[in-house]
Structure 1
Amino acid sequence: MDRIFRERMPVGQAKEKFLAAITPITRAEEISIQACPGRVLATHIIAPRNVPHFRRSAMDGYAMKATDTLGASPLNPVMLQLSDVVEEGTCARVGTGQPMPEDADAVMMIEDTMSMGDMIEIRAQLHPGKNVGNIGEDIHKNEILFNKGQLLRACDIGVLASLGIREARVYCKPLVAIIPVGDDLIPLSYTELPPAGKTLESNSLMIGLYVEQWGGIPRYHNIVPVDDAQIEQAIKANLDADLLVVSGGTSVGEKDLVPEVVASLGELLVHGVGLSPGKPTALGRVNNKPVVCMPGYPAAGLVALFVFGRPALRKVANAPDVPDVIVKAQLSSKITSREGYLSYARVILDGSIAHPLMTAGAGILSSIARSQGFVIIPEHVEGYEKASEVDVVLIE
């Protein structure tokens, strides 16, 4: 394979091509609703009963027959007898959510009444059904409550609990294999100062934490030396996973072998994208399992993970992609970018002001930690001037 990026695929095209090659998982499990927030339904949920399953008052006040209020007004009130049952000329005290008396068809708000011993002065006219919650008004028995593919939220779980549903069938969380590649890497368990030319392998932990945050289960592989046979062995050993993320070995140097190994085992869909930082990103598929090959430089790898890894994981999981959280800000200084690249410029937010930070440098992970978000500069734009209003995509 030629080790020069003769073609650089636009980010949108690369993402579309990669996602089109991903098959979502079909495995599902029945779990307690307490464990369901953030999970994706594998079946429709059908309402087992009506809500409410009885006629109920929607207000604090008095239940009565609507015909007894004809013509009632503050200047022409109607007097009704307070009673435990409702019939012509009587009313009964009710609270919000309480059952309606059998023959009552309306509720007068307490604000529109005046109590006079066991007589109630009615100062407004009602129509039948006013302030009454009818059977099935909220939810009808046998209606589809939530559709297959719904991402469950805490409020959805509350609805399930209110209906007596205690378990739900959801898709299993995807297993994501994380494979670090590099001769310069040493494990995090190393407690001494790393020798010159060696680096603690921290990308795997960062990737794994994001995998958990985005709904997957990370599995960590040992550091793999830069050797095509060992890289191949590591990928083959993890093909039981639903998604593979390889960190490092994706550029065009003599030791960047990962894309070649992916191509030999399956299909290399993309190698080299118009992304800054993150140009060496490679995307492929082996045994129908998607493989994200992200640069080993931390900042570049993180951008590639956000741009390609997150949507890939969400599709594998049958989950809708989570939209970015965006805030408006004004630049404190100019940001430059390379035309033809979708550029992620790191910024620090100070109220409504965005201060550019390390707009170049693919390996400076500390700049990610110090920043709150990215200003994403489109391929056709060469940068933004000082005082420009920009969208800042929050990292978290």
Structure 2
Amino acid sequence: MQFFNVKTVEETYKQIEELVKSVKETEEIPLASSLHRIVAEDVVATESVPSFQRSTVDGYAVKAKETYGSSETLPGFLSIVGKVVMGEEVTTPLGNGEAIYIPTGGMMPPNSDSVIMIEHCEELSDLLNTYKQVAPGENVIQIGEDVKAGEVVVKKGTKLRPQELGAIAAIGKTHVTVFKQLTIGYLSSGDEIVPYETTNLQIGQVRDINALTISSLVKEWGSKIIYGGIVSDDYIEYQNRAKELFDQVDCLVLSGGSSVGAKDYTTKVIESLGLPGVFIHGVSIKPGKPTILAMAEEKPVIGLPGHPASAMIIFSLFAEKIIKKLSGEISRKRLDRVQVRLMKNIHSSMGRADYIRVKLLEVDGEWWADPIIGKSGLISTLVQSDGIVEIKSEYEGARKGELVSAIMF
């Protein structure tokens, strides 16, 4: 019988960072198909955006100095000599004492240096009364103010969001080079496990909830999933099925069989897949202590606890970091952790990090976390939760009203 060599959460994160390497394969794909893919090289602008001076408001293009001193009580006067047409180049220079109507986004006429907003002036036939002075450059976007030619628009390792797609499109690129999309393999084990579609359960049987929750998380993070089905508690069958799936994927996830029971073959199966093998067998955490992490032939292998709630929390805490590192994504700070106040006391044991499911409530403009009471293996507690509160291993708990860190689902 094996026993855990337990690591802390911090030690686990550090080893993931050291051991997991990014995939190297890349491909060039149409920009329109690249949402949520990871950029494999810096995207550099070959042109400036905008390529001409543009107005940011509806108004009149003027020479700023000719508006100085204008006010509601003492307006200035300029001659209106035409209008800018959207999408057309303006070649006629602006003369002294002149103004030209310009819409938002219109091209600035030569010799003009600012735009007075339509709200701050009045058109009287061919005469423009100006009721406010403007400064040079006011209400104008300069050439290259958005993006300059030669500038890095999107850095290597960035996950493409709609805003990055827009920025790349703005510099005239229709294709982008990205890392290959990861394929994650998932295999459940246990004589008691049956497909989640099973209508009538026999006594002792358990539906394979993890097949759905883990696969959904993988897809949510931008990777593909291959479901390997359910394997019985037979070492030879387990090893063969795991190896077959391992050869098809970039990362293998095994659910169940990660504890120290005599029939739990997961560690032995993982070790058979290749070197260097298991680097984490047990994390000082609740729920999810019997967690296995390994590297085999440069591929990560993850052994999850069988309990659905524990499996989902562990997968969210550690597998997301593994998959992101493997995909080539450079971590971007996200608002996935917020400071909240506790509505109840929480007890914890020193030396072990606890993750308590909570429901978030807004009270008088402040966010409070209401701990959800229930055994750690209950999937229903996850459904009721908005996130989990982290009680670090050096603390014995947290008191009602105390500020704590909550990880959002």
- TM-score, normalised relative to structure 2: 0.88
Q: 1:354 aligns with which of 344, 363, 369?
A: 369
Show CA shifts across 1:142-197 (max 9, x none): 32211111222112222233333332222222100001111111223433x22112
Could you tell me the percent identity over the aligned residues? 31
Cα distance, 1:370 vs. partner? 2.2
Shift of 1:38: 2.0
Asked if 1:131 is matched to 2:139, the reply is: yes
Asked if 1 retains the 8 angstrom alpha-carbon contact of 2:120 and 2:131, the reply is yes
Distance 1:327 1:264, change over 3 A: same
Per mean C-alpha deviation after superposition, the further-off stretch among 122-131 and 282-291 is 122-131
- Per the alignment, residue 88 of structure 2 pairs with none
The answer to whether the 8 Å contact 2:26/2:179 transfers is yes
**Structure 1 pair 14/90, CA: closer, same or farther in 2 (3 Å)?**
closer
Partner SS, residue 222 of structure 1: strand
Does 2:342 correspond to 1:335?
Answer: no
Alignment map for 1:1-396 (pairs within 5 Å)? 2-5=1-4, 7-69=5-67, 72-74=70-72, 76-84=74-82, 86-191=94-199, 193-237=200-244, 238-265=246-273, 266=275, 267-321=277-331, 323=334, 325-351=336-362, 352-358=367-373, 361-395=375-409
What is the CA-CA distance between 1:346 and the residue it aligns to? 1.7
Gaps of 5+ in 2: 83-91
How far residue 67 of structure 1 moved from its aligned partner, in angstroms, is 4.7
Cα distance in 1 for partners of 2:222, 2:278 equals 26
Secondary structure (helix, strand or coil) at the match of 1:223 reads strand
- Contact between 1:177 and 1:221, CA under 8 Å: does it hold in 2? yes
- CA drift of 1:241 comes to 1.0
Question: How many angstroms apart in 1 are the aligned matches of 2:72 and 2:371?
Answer: 65
Q: C-alpha deviations, 1:97-149, integer Å up to 9, x for none?
A: 11122332333333443333212233454554443333222222232211111
**C-alpha separation between the residues in 2 aligned to 1:295 and 1:203?**
10
Compute the displacement of 1:380 (Å).
1.5
| CA 214–92 in structure 1, closer or farther in 2 if over 3 Å, else same | same
> Structure 1 pair 128/333, CA: closer, same or farther in 2 (3 Å)?
closer
Give the counterpart letter for 1:201 in structure 2.
D
Distance 1:288 1:54, change over 3 A: same
User: 8 Å contact 2:49–2:170 — kept in the other structure?
Assistant: no
Deviation sequence 1:264-316 (CA, Å, 0-9, x none) = 43311111110111111111111111111011111221221112111101111
Q: For the residues of structure 2 that align with 1:219 and 1:292, how far apart are their CA atoms?
A: 15
What is the distance in 2 between the residues matched to 1:150 and 1:15?
21
Mean Cα displacement is larger for which, 320-329 or 273-282?
320-329
1:64-122, CA deviations, whole angstroms, 9 ceiling, x for partnerless residues? 33454455555554422221352123222222211122332333333443333212233
Contact 1:69/1:124 (CA < 8 Å) preserved in 2? yes
Contact 2:153 2:167 in 1 (8 A): no
Q: Structure 1 residues 14, 80: CA separation in 2 closer, same or farther (over 3 Å shift)?
A: closer
CA distance in 2, matches of 1:105, 1:140: 20
| 1:4-38 CA-partner distances (Å, limit 9, x unpaired) | 23x32111102211332112112223333333232
Label 1:90 to 1:211 Cα distance change in 2 as closer, same or farther (>3 A).
Answer: same
Structure 1: which amino acid aligns with 2:391? I
Q: Tell me how far apart the structure 2 counterparts of residues 254 and 137 of structure 1 sit (CA, whole Å).
A: 66
Aligned residues: 391
